[in-house]
Every structure is written in C-alpha cells, then in structure tokens.
Amino acid sequence: MGTLNFSEVVGSANSSKKLINLLRGHVSQNQRCWPWVSLLTRSRCRWPNTSLLPTQLLERGSQKVFQTPSISNPALLYGPDNGDGKLRVNIASWLTQFFQPSAPVTEDRICITGGASQNLACLLQVFTDPVYTRNVWIVSPAYMLAFRIFEDSALKLRAVPEDEEGIDIDFLRREIQKSEGSARAQGNNEPRIKPARPWSKIYRHVIYAVPTFSNPSFKTMTLKRREELVRLAREYDVLVITDDVYDFLQWPASLTAQTLSIEKAILPRLVDVDRYLDGGTERDGTDGFGNTASNGSFSKICGPGLRTGWCEGTEKLAFGVSQTGSSRSGGAPSQLAATFLAETLESGELQRYLYDTLQPSYGRRYQKMVTAINEELIPLGVRLPQTDRDVVGGYFIWLTLPSPLKGAMVAQRAKDDENVVVAQGEIFQVPGDSEHDGTHFENDIRLCFAWEEEDVLAEGIQRLGRVIRTLRDEHDGGRQKATQQASEGSARDFW
C-alpha cells in the first residue's frame, strides 16, 4: 500500500458521496522532499472554517487605522525592528491575563513576527550554527511543515518520542549525551560559521515542541515534563522553541459540558516555566538569553492570511530575534496587519471573540467528533491519547488504529470508498529519523475538526468506521482463507 496522494484531496472522482475533508489541504507538486511530504507541499492542513473568520472585527480595526493618519501613516511605512509598539503592549497585557505568569509580561519580552513559521526561521538564523548546533530535537509526531524550515538552516533533525505525559525526557537526555560525545570527539567546541554577535548567542542544541494541544498528536505536555525539559535545556545549552499557537483554543473535555469557554490557560508555557523555575532566567551565572522562545500566532484565532504573530522570550532573546537581517532592513514583518490587530486587542473585541465565539464553536465541533468516535471507532479498537484530561483544545484529534491496520491503507480506502480525506501518521515522522520506538506512525491517523462543516463531522466518523470494519473483515476473511487452505493442504499431505 502506497501513501495517499494528497493531490487528490478534492476527493474521489468516482464517488457519489459528498467529500468530507478531515485533512483540509491543497497541493502544489513542485517541491523536493520525502515521498509523503512532497505530496503535501504547500498543504494547509489546518485551516479554520471560514464562518469563524472574524472579518467584521478586523474591518473595524482597519477602519480605525485608516481613519487615523497618526496610525495609518507609520503603518504604511517601514516600522521598528521589533514591530508595532501598540501591538506589543496589547499582546503583553493579554498574555499576562491569560497565562498569569510569575511576573507580568512586559512589551520588552515581545517581538512582532510574520507568524510562527516565519519566526521559527528567524530564531534559527540568529541563534544557531549549522555545525556547532549539533541537532534540532523534534517532538514526534511533529508538525511536518517545520521540517523544511530546519533544513533551510542546515540543521540535523532528530526525532524524540512522546509518551502519555509528553516528551520522553530520558530518551532525549540519552541522545543529547551521545551527540555531545561525538561533538567533543570531533573538536566541535565553538561556533565557527556563525560566531555570536552582541545581540545573539549560538546554542548547542534546539528542541522544537508544540506542548499544548499539539498538532498533530493532540497531546498536552504535563507540568512535570515542562519543568524537566527546562532543566535539561539549561544543562545542555538548548534553545527550546515552542509553537504555542493552540493554547487559546481550549474547552472542557467533558462531552456534556454546556459552557465551552475557559479564559485562563491551564498550564504555563515553557517560556513561563523558564521564568520561575530555580531562580528563573536571571539566576546567577546565566547570560540572560534564557532557554526558551515562545512562538505565538494570530493564524488560529484570527486568520492565517494576516501572517502575524509574536515571539516571547527574555528581553535579550526578544531583542536578538528582532535583529534578524531581514527585520533590520525595513522592520518587523506584517507591519500593517499588526496595526489592525493592535486595535482589536485594545478594544477587547478579539479576546471576547475568542472566548464567546471561537472556544464554544471549536468545542462543539470537538464534542460532535469525539462523541461519534466513542460510538463508532472505539468499539473497533481505535485509541485516543490522554483520555483523562479535564481540558482539551486545538484543531486535531490523533487516532491509533487497531493492529494490523495501517494509516496509509485507511486513508486511501477512506478516500476511494467513502470520499473522506484524513491524514496518515507517516507524514508527521521526522525525515531520516523514524527508526526508534515511538518515532514512526504507520498505525495512526490525524483528523481535523476545524475546517469541515460542523454537521458533517459525525458522518465523517461513521464513514471512517465503515472503512475500518471493511478492512478488518477483509483481513479476517483473508486469514480464515489462509487457515483453511493450510488445513486443506495438510489434510492433502496426510492422505
């Protein structure tokens, strides 16, 4: 069974059934990469349903900007390296309210970005070296569109498995120690290609994670693991980059909950942990850059077309990333969009939209999908991760199929037989490093509940249930036939 060709994500041409897209992607076919990733190129498998785009809210924000020359003139010119000042202030106060960190988030900790992906590239440009930085350790299954960003910086990708609590710290520690051993043996003791500059430093390792409501694993890393991870990062000179892009999209896990909004974060981000743990980022003997960078984004809460986000870290780290060459030439990206967003946060409308519209809407979608999964798929042996959580969120649900079913087979048959599109687990494997236990995902699939219409989500799961039943019956039929043939064979041999 090959890999599902996602260029056919428009659905099955032969099916009389309406396409149900639980992947949400479209494709251009011109990129080199690993087989399954190349089929997913330019895939946008994490789009919000268009009914959830806050168009009017942004229109009001933009009107305010264009009716006020003192805002619109600078907005249409080159801007500061660290981005629109009003947006930085408003993000800082919103993050303080939502995450309630040990000390308020100040605007000096914030740099405006062109979104999480764009800023991942900037962080790597400023804080890594292709040789001295030994590896980027990627929590797996992983957000696959990050792979190329790491490759662009010529970093060596390594996969780190997750368990029910999140990242497997013991595995990571062991592998980092090995990596350090071979770096020492090679005399790789200082950055030679990109020496540190006054605004930056070069870290020896990078860890990339999506700790809360992860894309794709749907898991949330426990507090204990977050603290262990920060300690490990400090020990081995690691920059932990987290995409904290789903933290705001949360709701009670209960499938009967009526109130589907929660206005405070359930857990501190890694960047918050770094601030309070064991003396924080300013403890004695440190360089002040810290070991964590949080990539925030307006893509999931407003619309990805805005291409606007923010990075939070220590003041030194936030300043450092603002000094990326491309920002020094013309200022932070997304200058105009940033001013619209500054107004929507200033008026409090975006926060209300998030709590009163987005969280309940996504929460309802989640309830519908998981209710159907419980009815249709769990009895077939399909498994969900972390079923004991009080709060869940994000865009995705990760399913492990009953053995011996393969995600590729299920995805292909779901498309061919039922016109349902899902993502097979292999596309989330770290290229070139999927040998270890827990780093290959041929038995898994990912479903997205953010894009399709709410009233077809249950039907999508019912169709998937039919596919899994059919494949199971085919497998059982094949086994029976084989057993029968074998016993007929041995009976013949006997006679």
Ligand X SMILES: Cc1ncc(COP(=O)(O)O)c(C=O)c1O
Residues that bind ligand X (CB under 6 A): 46, 115-117, 143, 210, 215, 243, 245, 297, 299, 304, 309
* Cα atoms found within 13 Å of the Cα of residue 297, Cβ hemisphere only: 22
Q: Find the shortest distance in angstroms from Cβ 308 to ligand X.
A: 8
399 or 409: whose CB is closer to ligand X? 399
**Residue 144: how many CB atoms within 10 A of its CB?**
24
Q: Are 409 and 1 in contact (CB under 8 A)?
A: yes
Residue (of 328, 384, 429) closest to 125 by Cα position: 328
Give the whole-angstrom CA distance, residue 224 versus residue 206.
20
**In angstroms, what is the C-alpha Rg of the chain?**
24
Q: Find the shortest distance in angstroms from Cβ 108 to ligand X.
A: 22
Q: Are 243 and 143 in contact (CB under 8 A)?
A: yes
Q: Find the shortest distance in angstroms from Cβ 140 to ligand X.
A: 13
Dig out the tokens for 494 from the structure.
Answer: 């006997």
110 or 245: whose CB is closer to ligand X? 245
- Tell me whether residue 162 is exposed, middle or buried, using C-beta atoms within 10 angstroms of its C-beta: 0 to 12, 13 to 18, 19 or more: buried
Q: Find the shortest distance in angstroms from Cβ 301 to ligand X.
A: 10
117 or 291: whose CB is closer to ligand X? 117
Q: Find the shortest distance in angstroms from Cβ 300 to ligand X.
A: 7
Map residue 206 onto helix, strand or coil: strand
Helix (H) or strand (E) holding 398: strand 396-400
Residue nearest to ligand X (CB): 115
**Token pair 């497997």 in the structure block, residue:** 168
Question: Which residues is 135 bridged to in the sheet?
Answer: 205
- Tell me whether residue 255 is exposed, middle or buried, using C-beta atoms within 10 angstroms of its C-beta: 0 to 12, 13 to 18, 19 or more: exposed
Q: Find the shortest distance in angstroms from Cβ 298 to ligand X.
A: 7
Q: Find the shortest distance in angstroms from Cβ 486 to ligand X.
A: 48
Map residue 149 onto helix, strand or coil: helix
Q: Are 345 and 90 in contact (CB under 8 A)?
A: yes
Q: Find the shortest distance in angstroms from Cβ 435 to ligand X.
A: 24
299 or 314: whose CB is closer to ligand X? 299
Map residue 207 onto helix, strand or coil: strand
285 φ/ψ sector (left φ>0, alpha ψ -120 to 50, else beta): left
Q: Are 111 and 82 in contact (CB under 8 A)?
A: yes
Q: Find the shortest distance in angstroms from Cβ 60 to ligand X.
A: 23
